[in-house]
Structure 1
Amino acid sequence: AGWTLGLMYSNGISGDTNRWSHDRHYWGAGLKYQAGAIKSSLILEAENKVTYATVNGVQVKEAPITAKYTVNYGLEYNTGSWTPMFTYRYVTQDEGVKAHKFGLSALIPYAGGRFKVAAAYMFGKDESIKAGEDKINHWQVGAAYEYPLSKRTVIKPFIGYAGSGKGWKNLGYANDGNIYNAWQAYIGMHHFF
């Protein structure tokens, strides 16, 4: 009746040298609904981060690290002429990042191809920032045009910008520019074998 359920589990994602009970584990569950012009999905994911060290030949539990959790929701509606989409994500990550992210995008047919446009905004907290403001935000915008050169080959130019503010405004790697604020442009070709 349009519903699909998926479950996934991994009993070791950081190597296979530890016993399964001493390794990092991943759990995931996804629920998808599709009926006519509507597609929707909800995905829940978790990863435990308990680690063990070997001291004098004995495995000892190290200080526990907060588990990572992710909730993803997506919705799209094909109007017949174009397809608007909405996404929401809540995530907790390593080093104490907790954030909400909202996105809007669309597929728009035009001149034998189709435009893909998207914008997203994220806000939250980054507890790894020791000095200064730990509140963060991040935004992205982008547009691409996919044009079929044949039934199996598509060419796609793209341009996009990502920027950050608050605690991430000036964060980056030394000698590598600011990784949180950048333009990107490319032309790619995709061939289906």
Structure 2
Amino acid sequence: MIWYALLVAAVAAERLAELVVARRNERWSVARHAIVAGQGHYPAMVALHASLLIGCPVEVWLGGRPFVPALAWPMLAVLVGAQALRWWCIGTLGPRWNTRVIVVPGLPLVARGPYRLLRHPNYVAVVAEGVALPLVHTAWVTALVFTVLDAVVLTVRIRCENRALAAATAMPTPAAAPASASAPA
């Protein structure tokens, strides 16, 4: 159980690193007259993801979930793959990646990296992680509940993101930002 708690803590630390990157990228985007959309669903998304990180060890502890190597090792591989895909997305989008729906008017859609294969590859990583992290230690209730609720949140999120991207790519690029705001902070 201790090693599983450490794994969940590592994923939580990774999430905190994402928030640092997102905050920096938000400043970059705002300096370029970004449009922020979908603020209504964001708190639900944050709460759901925090619940995943809490639910995994709690279910294992309270439910006495066993460690099943035949399930754990493949799920750990899926979890590692999900993290790699997420950071590939972050690297590909650069300062345009964010945990919020923030788009800079006039910028074309990114069509390289994982985005040449899928429109929303980061959400593939989210879904994979939401299944794999709990199942590393057979927390199947957490995996099931997260997956169902995440499907609802992602349906809202993807619609919101698609509308924001369509609107922003149709707009002309705003006047150049001042030279001091041209580099990510």
TM-score (structure 1 length as normaliser): 0.24
Which has more strand, going by share of residues?
Answer: 1
TM-score (structure 2 length as normaliser): 0.24
Larger radius of gyration: 1
RCO comparison, higher one (Cα < 8 Å, 6+): 2
Which has more helix, going by share of residues?
Answer: 2
